[in-house]
Structure 1
Amino acid sequence: MSDYVVIGGARSRAMRVLWMLEELGQPYSVVNAMPGSDEVRAYNPTGKVPALVEDGVVIPDSVAIMTYLADKHGALTAKAGSMARAQQDAFVNALNDEIDAVLWAAARHSFILPEEQRVAGVKDSLRWEFGRNQHAIAERMDPEEPFVMGSEMSLADILLSHCMGWAGSAKFEVTNERLLAHNAMMRARPAFKRALAAGS
């Protein structure tokens, strides 16, 4: 089997995949191309990153890639078909709906959409929504253990920490103490630092 190829750099959702591969100890290379570029469109017609290439097959979407890698390598996830996996998937879907989607909407209206399609005022509403939703997400986390789902790290932790970093870059204030502590713990991990360097 050939090594994985990650399309996209550390300043995008591709960071989630780079981090995942580092935590799994899997070899990979990076095509640090910009979203929307011809180089990215050669792998994903939407122009979005990340994409993962394995043996000539392209998988788009960060969460789909993370789930595939976790299942394939038997790590950072609960067993498919288990109640623990259902709870993990529920958290990941909620995080996508309540945090990732809000940040993505803000990004679209900041620099992605054509200028005439951007609505500047929408970001105030999105910041309010983010402020409310962060507390709901924190309440879904295991209150007694360090990681989202309990005593063991999962892909949900990577996704959450990446979203918190993205929020900081977008000037969406994270005020929830549980989320702040979790993010600090996650970003101290050596795999995070290696992924950041690899994708820069």
Structure 2
Amino acid sequence: MYDVIGSRASRAFRVLWLAEEMGIQYTHLAVASGSPEALAANPSGKIPALRDGEAVLTDSTAIMTYLADKHGQFTHAPGTVARARQDALTHQILDEIDGTLWTAARHSFVLPEERRVPAVKDSLKWEYARNIARLSDALAGPFLQGETMTIADILLAHCLIWAGKAGFSDPGEKLNAYLGMMSGRPACQRASALS
């Protein structure tokens, strides 16, 4: 059994969603970044973390990749063209969407107030709109790579939810339909209901 460490209102949601999709047993420690439990799992205090026996893994994407590879679900086989394309999409989402949202969050409430540059958010919103349009054009449907849902889909859907809450631009009809389909999945609903 796994321990998923981190509150649902963080990138831990991605790991919780994947665990629910996979039907694997886990214990959820709904703790905040910097809490004693988070610090015990990760010296930086960042969440999420995953405890698998004696091993502790950090970073939501690394954890999702580990679980998907270990259980052979929501991923393409390593060494295949489909996996390389999945990894390219994952890195594109992390770089162009997640990174933009995280930078905006840092300049909104994460950094000490004297270190924030609120004016950067307009530029980030422009960049997000440009990048999300490119991803929308690439959406094969119903999932990013056609008929197969992968961890890249969970990553993108979580970023779309985050962007909506953060006041970023509407992603357009195609991605709104995609997000509706993804967020309507029973596993996403179960993860959303966790404390």
- After TM superposition, is the score higher than 0.5? yes
Find the residue that maps to 1:168 and give its secondary structure.
helix
Give the C-alpha shift of residue 56 in structure 1: 2.2
Find the residue that maps to 1:42 and give its secondary structure.
helix
Specify the alignment match of 1:8 in structure 2. Answer: 6
State the AA in 2 paired with 1:40: A
Residue of structure 2 aligned with 1:107, choices 84, 91, 105: 105
Moved over 3 A (4+): none
Unaligned runs of 5+ in 1: none
Deviates more, 1:93-102 or 1:48-57: 48-57
Specify the alignment match of 1:88 in structure 2. Answer: 86
Contact 1:35 1:47 in 2 (8 A): yes
Give the C-alpha shift of residue 63 in structure 1: 0.5
Specify the alignment match of 1:179 in structure 2. Answer: 175
Specify the alignment match of 2:145 in structure 1. Answer: 149
State the AA in 2 paired with 1:48: K
Q: Distance in 1 between matches of 2:91 and 2:133?
A: 16
Q: Distance in 1 between matches of 2:53 and 2:171?
A: 43
Unaligned runs of 5+ in 2: none
Alignment of 1:1-200 (within 5 A): 3-142=1-140, 145-198=141-194, 200=195
Q: Distance in 2 between matches of 1:99 and 1:133?
A: 7
Cα root mean square deviation, aligned:
1.0
Give the C-alpha shift of residue 193 in structure 1: 0.8
Q: Distance in 1 between matches of 2:171 and 2:51?
A: 37
Q: Distance in 2 between matches of 1:156 and 1:178?
A: 17
Contact 1:12 1:49 in 2 (8 A): yes
Find the residue that maps to 1:194 and give its secondary structure.
helix
TM-score when normalising by structure 2: 0.97
Q: Distance in 1 between matches of 2:80 and 2:142?
A: 21
Give the C-alpha shift of residue 141 in structure 1: 2.0
Give the C-alpha shift of residue 10 in structure 1: 1.3
Identity of aligned residues (%): 53
State the AA in 2 paired with 1:35: S
Q: Distance in 2 between matches of 1:17 and 1:48?
A: 14
Q: Distance in 2 between matches of 1:141 and 1:90?
A: 13
Q: Distance in 2 between matches of 1:175 and 1:67?
A: 26
State the AA in 2 paired with 1:34: A
Q: Distance in 2 between matches of 1:141 and 1:76?
A: 17
TM-score when normalising by structure 1: 0.94
